[in-house]
Amino acid sequence: MALAGTTARRVTIVRCKSGPGGPLPPTNTGFDVRLRKVLVPAVALAVLAGTVVGCSSSGSGSDLVTANGTEPQHPLIPTDTNENGGGRIVDRLFAGLEYYDADGKPHNEVADSITSPDRKTWTITLKDGWTFSDGTPVTAKSFVDAWNYGALSSNKQVQNWAFADIAGADAVMASPPTAQTMSGLKVVDDKTFTVELTEPNIDFQLSLGFAPFYPLPAAFYRDPQGFGEHPIGNGPYMMAGPDAWQHNVALSVKPNPAYHGGRPARNKGLKFVFYQSLDTAYSDLQAGNLDLDDTVPRSALATFKQDLGDHAIEKPTAQNQHIGIQIGHAPHFTGPEGVLRRKAISLAVNREQIAQAIFNGTRIPAKDFTASSLPGFDGNLPGTDLLAYNPDRARQLWAQADAISPWAGKYQIAYNSDGDHQAWIDAVANSIKNTLGIDAEGAPYPTFKTIRDQITSHTFDSAFRYGWQGDYPSMLEFLTPQYLSTSQTNDVEYKNPEFDAALRAAQAAATPEESYRATAKAQALLLADMADIPLFDYVAAAGTSTKVTAAKLSWSGLFDYENVTG
């Protein structure tokens, strides 16, 4: 999923709220274009004062485990959620055919069995007794209808790429669609359905714990937009009440008593607090006003282990950070000129120095377009030298691009100011500026949602920072949504039929080793085209409050929320 982050400045507020819900989180100051509740001016003015001071409260809200988060970009519909502010919530509210444990290992959840003789034709049977939180049954139709809805182009779901390999998806995903349902999906009975793919897919079963493949109840289709505000799921948690989502403030969930899968909630509920500052979240963590913080701010990377002691967490995770540009229309970045310029910029960035100086070693220079912690990772792909600092070669390639069309203007890198990105963006821009002798600078946008809205509308003419956080542990899950020509989440507008064919070969491979080799060929094409500019993989720096007795950071960099206790 698209990787979020939160912070630009350190602010401090004192706000108390008695009764359920506990202390309110930092106030949104109005920058987010989706602001739906305007807080009173007196509270907004209080933001200017300084640091968050927590207040104790009585009521059920004080029993919730508080976790950092960001305002979801879209309503909470599984097929329309591809950023981690919404994704971490959707994955708590819904249960799929499978789920992934903290180490990324898949387990059957709603599915009783998932079988195939050839990895092309699949039979899926469901366990008995599953219901949604409104009491309606989870049936085979609940899955088939949800998948057809997600794939249908007229529904404009950002995760529709996930269904591309199902037979008949091309007609449903066409614009305009020439069919309303995928021919490869058949309901056999209430507990059984079949899936026919266009070709064998080594990743299909692994992907079935991924959000687009979640089921939806009948209530969804009566009012999809309203459902997204008050989702009804079948997961380990359910919305804590009709006012559980306080936009730009927080969202609370409570255990779902109807859930009987393999990841039941071991706590009394979760409250995702939508911080505008990683520094503020970290201050709250230290003060005991926040229980889970999965992103320690840059300002504390050198000290967080000392600050938090046994409650500090550091581990490699499946997350990355790139610079993208929408190569279909951005000036100077289309065609052969664009390839030369993207390669020159990549060679102009001193990743090693920035990883140490800015991130204190909690970032690793990228060696491919996925993440080094994933199975099958190869750090010696053909063309990987383009990801190493080489100022002389960078200048040579830039001069070759100038021979096609002389450079004019600034090279700007857009970033969200609420994500603690300014320092490293400035360092990257300075490296480019000093190497290539051009005017390069960061271009701040107020919130993650604001920049994501512009990226997904495909109206960006400048470069932008973006990243990916694994949804299931596969390199193909990083490559397919981001670079497949037909993917709705192909933010950089990369289109290469040869790459698409290489991806298909990787998916159709008979063994993981064959798939890894085909994936390497696909990535070599990405490097030859320099589809975007990989910068860093993550070594996650996270922490918990002293009230937490058990919490594990998962393979993807998010907490194993269901198993948090304290």
Q: At what angle do helices 422-436 and 391-404 cross, to 10 degrees?
A: 70
Please state the φ and ψ torsions of residue 538, each to the nearest 5 degrees. -100, 140
Which residues, 6 or more positions from 374, have their beta carbon under 8 angstroms from its beta carbon? 318, 470, 473, 474, 475, 478
For residue 552, give the nearest of 563, 541, 538 by alpha carbon: 563
Architecture of the 41-91+224-315+541-563 domain: 3-Layer(aba) Sandwich (3.40)
Residue range 293-331, pLDDT digits in tens = 999 999 999 999 999 999 999 999 999 999 999 998 899
DSSP codes joined into one string, 479-520: HHHHH-TT-TT-TT----HHHHHHHHHHHH-SSHHHHHHHHH
Residue 276 — very low, low, confident or very high, per pLDDT cuts 50/70/90? confident
Max Cα separation, the chain?
69
Q: In the chain, what is the straight-line distance between the N-terminal and C-terminal CA atoms, in Å?
A: 29
Q: What is the pLDDT of residue 74?
A: 94
Q: What is the pLDDT of residue 62?
A: 67
Cα separation, 474 vs 468, whole angstroms: 12
- Kindly tell me if the per-residue pLDDT of 49 is higher than 70: no
Q: What is the pLDDT of residue 513?
A: 96
Cα separation, 215 vs 441, whole angstroms: 44
Q: What is the pLDDT of residue 2?
A: 65
Q: What is the rounded average pLDDT of the residues 238-265?
A: 97
Q: Which residue bears the tokens 């946008």?
A: 445
pTM: 0.81
For residue 533, give the nearest of 482, 476, 470, 477 by alpha carbon: 482
Cα separation, 205 vs 238, whole angstroms: 26
Residue range 61-92, pLDDT digits in tens = 469 999 999 999 999 999 999 888 999 999 99
- Kindly tell me if the per-residue pLDDT of 53 is higher than 70: no
Q: What is the pLDDT of residue 18?
A: 31
CATH number for the domain running over 98-129+139-214: 3.90.76.10
- Kindly tell me if the per-residue pLDDT of 56 is higher than 60: no
Mean pLDDT score of the chain, rounded to an integer? 89
Instruction: Average the pLDDT over each of 9-13, 83-87, 414-418 and give the range with the smallest value.
Output: 9-13
DSSP codes joined into one string, 319-341: EEEEEE--TTT-TT-SHHHHHHH
**Cβ distance 432 to 349 under 8 Å?**
yes
Residue range 103-115, pLDDT digits in tens = 999 999 999 999 9
* 342-377 as b/e: b if 16+ CB within 10 A: bbbbbbbbbbeebbeebbbebbbbbbbbbbbbbebb
Q: What is the pLDDT of residue 418?
A: 85
Q: What is the rounded average pLDDT of the residues 129-158?
A: 97
How large a percentage of the chain has pLDDT more than 90? Answer: 82
Q: What is the rounded average pLDDT of the residues 420-431?
A: 96
Under DSSP, the state recorded for 120 is S
Distances (CA, A) of 28 to 43, 276, 289, 476: 10, 7, 18, 36
Q: What is the rounded average pLDDT of the residues 373-377?
A: 95
Q: What is the pLDDT of residue 20?
A: 30
Fold classification of 316-539 is Dipeptide-binding Protein; domain 3 (3.10.105)
- Kindly tell me if the per-residue pLDDT of 460 is higher than 80: yes
How large a percentage of the chain has pLDDT more than 70? Answer: 89
Structural domain spans, the chain: 41-91+224-315+541-563, 98-129+139-214, 316-539
Residue 459 — very low, low, confident or very high, per pLDDT cuts 50/70/90? confident
Cα separation, 79 vs 172, whole angstroms: 15
Residue range 510-525, pLDDT digits in tens = 999 999 999 999 999 9
Strand stretches in 139-249, DSSP E: 185-189, 192-196, 237-239, 245-246
Report the amino acid identity of residue 46: A
Residue 32 — very low, low, confident or very high, per pLDDT cuts 50/70/90? very low
Q: Which two three-digit tokens encode residue 538?
A: 């993550």
Q: What is the rounded average pLDDT of the residues 343-361?
A: 96
Q: Provide the sign of the torsion angle of the four alpha carbons 527, 529, 532, 533, taken in this order.
A: positive
Residue range 171-211, pLDDT digits in tens = 999 999 999 999 999 999 999 999 999 999 999 999 999 99
Q: What is the pLDDT of residue 3?
A: 62
Residue 47 — very low, low, confident or very high, per pLDDT cuts 50/70/90? very low
Q: What is the pLDDT of residue 4?
A: 58
